[in-house]
Amino acid sequence: MPRLKPLGIISVYAIASALWIFFSDKAAATLFTDSPDVLRWVSTLKGWFYVVVIAGMLWLLLRRFEKQHSVQAAALAESESRYRSVIENIPDVYYRTDAAGNLIMLSPSVLPLLRYDSLDQLLGRSNAGFWEHPEQREAFMELINRQGEVRDYEVSLLRSDGIPVVVSTSSKLFRDCTGAVAGIEGIFRDISTRKQAERSLNDSAARLRRAELVAGTGNWEIDLTTRIVTSSEGARKIYGMTTGEMTLEAVQSLPLPEYRTMLDNAMLALVSNGEPYNVEFKIQRPEDGAILDIHSMANYDPASRMVFGIIQDITARKHIEDSLREALAFNESIFTYSPVAIGVFDGYTGRCVRANPVLAGITSLDIEALGKRGFRDVESWLTSGLEDLAERVLADGISRRSEVNLKGDGRELRLDCTLARMEAKEAGFLLLIAADITERRRMQEMMVQTEKMISVAGLAAGMAHEINNPLSGILQNVQVMRRRLTQESEVNAEAAREAGCSFESIARFMELRGILDSLDNVRDAGFRAAHVVTGMLDFSRRSESDNAPADLAALLDKTVALCSTDYDLKKKFDFRNIRIIREYEPDLPEVPCSKTQIQQVVMNLLTNAAHSLMGRSLPTITLRTAHEGEVARIDIEDNGAGMDEATRRKVFEPFFTTKPVGEGTGLGLSVSYFIITSNHGGSLDVASTPGKGSCFTIRLPYRAGSVSAARRNARLHA
């Protein structure tokens, strides 16, 4: 533009001069034709006037040109200053290369990006030397040559330390005044942080997808204004909507009908009142028709009218919960209805954590009382040795099994206990499983007793038959001897005369020497032996007498009367000095039995009671009858010396006696036991406390031969 100004001035000057010469000469010739001198002065003045005017015009033109030039120069300087300021301060990097690809201009922002100290280290170098992957530059050049420019093209450049940095460039071709391509210019910016953020975001999204996949969860959003539903891949998978548009109506149609009202109310409460949205429901997926259990939670943003929530597929958890619930119910049923006692105790405090009703019944303590005291405080457990066993199990973790005697509440139980440690907390838990084997042990004792009696019965039968023959001979010969020595018959007198003495002298000699008393003693001993043999025979065989209904009260009274009248002064007890207390239940049904055998049993028990009452200040025997379901009970109780546990266990064994030698055979109670259990299908038991007396209990079934009824009632009242 500055080079065009002189040409313009010259052109203006030439045109103005030509016009002035032509028109001024023409006008002067016309005006001063008649005055040559005037014309000559006019021509001279016209020439100077032209020079002055033209000079003025030229001066004005030059002044204007200088002003315009100075304004343009100032504008150009300002523009260049702004351009340089922009180049030097922009955060992005400006670059320009020549046609050969060498860098001819760079903004200083390239230095911290590529880790260089000055621009001199970069200018003049080939642009291709900074590309991490040169093959990518070939694709870039092909694209920019074809399109003339590129936008947001990602390039990986190498820093001075060899570390790649990712940049985004927007570049174009620039041309010279002739229109030829002079090089490439553009900007690029560091997007490493953005790429790292994108990678982190992608990684987070991938982790979220994996977490959703593992946890069976998904995210969802509902814009209440537009009713647009946005959801994650996990939510779509749960809903079974992996294809197609996910609309609010489609989502609302998924829950089973019985849950829809509840869900609508919960959503309304969330949006209206901000109440927590935490619901569980079932859906049916449209893809496969599967029924799923869903748990959903949500929050509401009133400003954006957006509902944000998550859903979780809890079908598997629900199945596990149902299985656990069934298992717990099953275990609870076993725990509650188990016939054995089960208890769980805190190993540290000893307090009862769980106990079933059987354990509460055994200990005579309710569960609350057990929880307050524990196995280290229950007195009956301490005396049984159960506490020491429990401490050993807790110490070494080895389960143990033992039988213990548990006393309390007036009872004594035999328990088969198993103790084990369950690992939990610091000291763990102690598991106790206890079976009440009291009746089993009683039955075992009864079986042992019965086996003994069966064995002894065979022995007794053989002994009785073997003893009966010589005993009959002894008694018969003693009777014959006494008759021949005391009976005054002709035959006896003749034999005395032949012996050279009189019969009276023989009788006198017998009297003086006490031979007749000796014969009487032999006879009494023989009768006593015969009584023993008779008892042995009764013991060895079942009585074949027919049972008939009997009034137990009358039978007991008659037996007491027999015992009183059959008293011998040589014995050391007297029923007439014993107080008899009768506690008969009125209207007791008659019992089918052998009256003579029952009298024998009762008489035997009364006799033993009388012996135990010797020396007591107020000897008392209590006779008691009662009705127990299918059996009648007879109690014969005394306040005598009683017996210890070892004696009580042996009291029904054959030939066992506590009487002095010569006063008892040891068969009375064993025969009585046999009569009651074998002949009548009943039971005979004894309870005794040393120093306080004994109580024998007879149970006889109302229905003849009903052994089970008597034994069952014996167990119930043991």
What is Dmax (Cα atoms) for the chain?
Answer: 254
Per the domain annotation, does 332 fall within a domain?
A: no
Say what the pLDDT of residue 574 is.
65
SS3 3: coil
Q: Are 107 and 88 in contact (CB under 8 A)?
A: yes
Sign of the four-CA dihedral 554, 556, 558, 564: negative
In this structure, the answer to whether residues 201 and 315 fall within a common structural domain is yes
Sign of the four-CA dihedral 375, 379, 381, 384: positive
Per the domain annotation, does 299 fall within a domain?
A: yes
Say what the pLDDT of residue 389 is.
84
In this structure, the answer to whether residues 598 and 520 fall within a common structural domain is no
In this structure, the answer to whether residues 149 and 226 fall within a common structural domain is no
In this structure, the answer to whether residues 154 and 234 fall within a common structural domain is no
User: Among 434, 457, 476, which residue terminates a domain?
Assistant: 434
Say what the pLDDT of residue 663 is.
56
Q: What is the DSSP letter of 582?
A: E
Report the chain (718 residues): mean pLDDT per 10 consecutive residues. Answer: 56 71 67 66 70 75 76 68 64 84 84 85 85 84 87 86 86 83 85 74 63 65 83 79 70 88 90 89 85 89 87 85 86 81 81 80 73 71 77 84 75 82 73 82 70 65 74 81 79 81 82 82 78 61 65 88 58 70 91 86 86 83 91 92 82 68 62 84 89 91 59 47
> In terms of DSSP H, where are the helices of 161-218?
192-215
Cβ-based burial of 416 (10 A; exposed 0-12, middle 13-18, buried ≥19): middle
Per the domain annotation, does 541 fall within a domain?
A: no
For residues 104 and 106, what is the distance between their CA atoms, to the nearest angstrom? 7
Q: Tell me the C-alpha to C-alpha distance, in Å, between residue 132 and each of 96, 136, 137, 155, 334.
A: 19, 9, 9, 8, 75
In this structure, the answer to whether residues 228 and 244 fall within a common structural domain is yes
User: Tokens 């490493």 belong to which residue?
Assistant: 192
Sign of the four-CA dihedral 235, 241, 242, 245: negative
In this structure, the answer to whether residues 567 and 676 fall within a common structural domain is yes
Cβ-based burial of 3 (10 A; exposed 0-12, middle 13-18, buried ≥19): exposed
CATH of the domain at 390: 3.30.450.20
Q: Are 255 and 263 in contact (CB under 8 A)?
A: yes
Q: What is the DSSP letter of 422?
A: E
In this structure, the answer to whether residues 60 and 130 fall within a common structural domain is no
Q: Is residue 300 left, alpha or beta, with left meaning phi > 0 and alpha meaning psi from -120 to 50?
A: beta
CA 330, chain centre distance (Å): 13
Domain of 399, in residue numbers:
338-434
190-222 burial, b if ≥16 CB within 10 A, otherwise e? bbeeebeeeeeeeeeeeebeeebeeebbbbbbb
> In terms of DSSP H, where are the helices of 121-242?
134-147, 192-215, 233-239
Q: Are 294 and 314 in contact (CB under 8 A)?
A: yes
Per the domain annotation, does 395 fall within a domain?
A: yes
User: Among 386, 405, 434, which residue terminates a domain?
Assistant: 434
Per the domain annotation, does 328 fall within a domain?
A: no
Paired tokens of 275: 């109440």
Q: Are 676 and 601 in contact (CB under 8 A)?
A: yes
- Per the DSSP assignment, residues forming a β-bridge with 95 are 106, 186
Paired tokens of 659: 């009487």
In this structure, the answer to whether residues 574 and 661 fall within a common structural domain is yes
Q: Are 355 and 400 in contact (CB under 8 A)?
A: no
Per the domain annotation, does 331 fall within a domain?
A: no
For residues 449 and 444, what is the distance between their CA atoms, to the nearest angstrom? 8
For residues 31 and 598, what is the distance between their CA atoms, to the nearest angstrom? 194
Q: What's the domain count of the chain?
A: 6
Say what the pLDDT of residue 583 is.
93
Cβ-based burial of 510 (10 A; exposed 0-12, middle 13-18, buried ≥19): middle
For residues 383 and 378, what is the distance between their CA atoms, to the nearest angstrom? 9
Q: Are 172 and 97 in contact (CB under 8 A)?
A: no
Q: Indicate the length of the chain as a whole number.
A: 718
Q: Are 283 and 253 in contact (CB under 8 A)?
A: no
In this structure, the answer to whether residues 476 and 600 fall within a common structural domain is no
In this structure, the answer to whether residues 555 and 694 fall within a common structural domain is yes
Q: Tell me the C-alpha to C-alpha distance, in Å, between residue 686 and each of 96, 593, 635, 636, 683.
A: 122, 21, 9, 10, 10
645-674 burial, b if ≥16 CB within 10 A, otherwise e? eeebeebbbbebbeeeeeebbebbbbbbbb
For residues 387 and 393, what is the distance between their CA atoms, to the nearest angstrom? 10
Q: What is the DSSP letter of 33?
A: S
In this structure, the answer to whether residues 617 and 698 fall within a common structural domain is yes
Question: What is the model's pTM?
Answer: 0.41
Q: Are 296 and 309 in contact (CB under 8 A)?
A: yes
H-run or E-run covering 347 = none
SS3 361: helix
Which residues fall within 8 angstroms of residue 546, CB to CB, at 6 or more apart? 594
Per the domain annotation, does 413 fall within a domain?
A: yes
Per the domain annotation, does 327 fall within a domain?
A: no
User: Tokens 């996949």 belong to which residue?
Assistant: 213
Q: For residue 696, give the nearest of 684, 680, 710, 681 by alpha carbon.
A: 684
Q: In the chain, what are the helix, strand and coil shares in percent, each to the nearest 5?
A: 50, 25, 25
User: Among 536, 556, 575, which residue terminates a domain?
Assistant: 536
In this structure, the answer to whether residues 94 and 80 fall within a common structural domain is no
Which residues fall within 8 angstroms of residue 306, CB to CB, at 6 or more apart? 221, 222, 223, 224, 300
